[in-house]
Amino acid sequence: MTIISESLARRDFLKYLGVAVAAVGASGLVACGTKSDGDSGSDDEAGDIIIYAQGADPRALDPAYFDDGESAKPAGNIFEGLYQYGDKDTSVLPCLATDLPSISDDGTVYTIKLREGVKFHDGTDFNADALVASWERQLEPLLDPDMPYATFVFGEEAIESGLTEITVLDEFTVELTLRAPSTPFLKNLAMTMAAPIVSPTALETFGNLNENPVGTGPFKFESWIKADSVTLVAFEDYWDTEHKAKTETIVFKIIPDNNTRVTALLNDEVDIIDGVDVSMADQILTRDYTLFAEDGMTINYLAFNTATGACADLEVRKAIAQAIDVEELVYTLYGEYATVANSVMPHFLAPYNVSIKQTEYDADAARETLADKGVTTLKCICYSNPRPYNARGGDVLAETIQGYLEKVGVYVDITPYAWTDYKSKVQTEEFDFCFYGWTGDNGDPDNFMNLLADSNPAMNVARFDDADYKALIKLGNETPIGPDRDAVYKQCEEMVAEKLPWLVLSHSKNLVGLHPSIKDFYYHPTGSVFLRGTYRAAE
């Protein structure tokens, strides 16, 4: 088999992009300062180019302005935060901070020492002022409504949680003051969204870094051809000199169609593809390629509009849930590559409990209730691209649900959108239900359950607004890890099952196709990909 970089398709693609292929012999890591399991010093490491094909264009490249994996994948290689996760889990390790924070006895004040000698890609020095510039713009009252993840990472006054003040003690020491103790806060600071630190010089120049990202990471931004590709190159002055990127150039190639991505991989036009449709997994397995398939930290769900329209009525929501045979649906669409969800959180996260009872399938009861309520038509919007939690795409899922509801006398009007458009449409369009999902950012139950307490409709697409639920989220946020905290989130799970803002469907495996020459790749449970330790072995 021909090594990808020598294929005609690759040469044509590189000529089109104008990318110069150069060798890099430096040792690298999967994430900032953490070691990969592969051999980091073998002679067969070849530093040239890796092409990673994903299903949609980034929405933005400034960490403050995106909340989607398609943006996070390139941005996570450009930017770094104070903390990072372990290679294959969500343990928290220092990155631009020198150590874990010192936390006051009451849990509300974090003192953090920053790493010295770090430069941004534009030559600006990293220091406390850079942290303030990155974060203060995401705190009230400066918070821009277009910053979807800020309240999720830093908290918000509305639920009396999160960061309220940043104090600079000296050039490399900061003090963070919280409104109340927050168990997930440290894990939040390692997220790829909102938490990373951006160049203050670039902010002053551009206002936001959506198309001009400047971070401290192992790769720096070179170009973004909209709807086509994002190109990154290794940062020569990366602060961690022992662990520079192993590959000179990373290209994130945008290929929306599932079949086309698989074909591109098998034709040696790309090296890595994500969002592999389960129906095409065998094509990868029967060739000399690798299929990465591990349980994802995901939930795939149908979200009801609980604020307006027919689905504001709980009885209607329950009848729609009764009309759908979730177990049959999951098996039919995803086979062995997903499990039926009886809980918002995947099974390996506490406080998952198999005793949570979801609405049982009962088509006859659904038909009767929906007829009594006069529900004959429902409007659905969906995404058309594959997602980590739904590799078949939202349109396929919507059409399957449409079939179930047709059997109980209800017509579903479906409007699909490309993912980058859909992220806006769920905030502005009228709908009775939509499809969405979540890949956990940090392994904490708050990261899943807090979605339904968030005031931002980009996060809480069900528009669920329940005072009792918000009180539980606040309690869980402040309660230390242990049985008492698990009990809080179990109550949250039970409330979601009872009040049905979501119909939970499935937990997926992360499916990624790899050319056999690609080494030391791991698809992180958070859905981010950290590529500085990834390389292609030489012939």
**DSSP, residue by residue, 68-120:** SHHHHHHHHHH-B-SEEE-SSS--EEESSBSSPPEE-TTS-EEEEEBPSS-B-
Q: What is the pLDDT of residues 390-416, one digit of tens each?
A: 989 899 999 999 999 999 999 999 999
What would the mean pLDDT of 154-179 be, rounded to a whole number?
A: 92
For the whole model, what pTM was predicted? 0.85
C-alpha triplet 243, 244, 249: angle, nearest 5° = 150
SS3 call for 20: coil
Q: What is the pLDDT of residues 275-305, one digit of tens each?
A: 998 889 999 998 889 999 999 999 999 999 9
CA distance 148 to 164: 18
Which two three-digit tokens encode residue 201? 């010089």
Please, which pLDDT band fits residue 123 given cuts at 50, 70 and 90? very high
Which two three-digit tokens encode residue 229? 């590709």
With both helix axes pointing from N to C terminus, report the angle between 326-334 and 394-406 in degrees, rounded to the nearest 10.
Answer: 140
Q: List the one residue out of 102, 101, 58, 106 whose CA is nearest residue 82.
A: 101
pLDDT for the residue numbered 340: 95
Q: What is the pLDDT of residues 354-366, one digit of tens each?
A: 789 999 999 999 9
Query: Is the pLDDT higher at 42 or at 445?
Result: 445
- Paired residues of 163 in beta bridges: 178
Q: What is the pLDDT of residues 30-63, one digit of tens each?
A: 334 333 333 333 344 436 999 999 999 999 999 9
CA 325 from centre of chain: 28
pLDDT for the residue numbered 288: 85
Please, which pLDDT band fits residue 523 given cuts at 50, 70 and 90? very high
Name the strands in the sheet holding 163-170, side by side, starting at the edge strand that comes first in the sequence: 102-103, 109-113, 173-178, 163-170
What would the mean pLDDT of 91-103 be, rounded to a whole number?
A: 98
Q: What is the pLDDT of residues 192-209, one digit of tens each?
A: 999 999 999 999 999 999
What would the mean pLDDT of 107-136 be, rounded to a whole number?
A: 98
Continuous segment of H or E residues that includes residue 502: strand 502-514
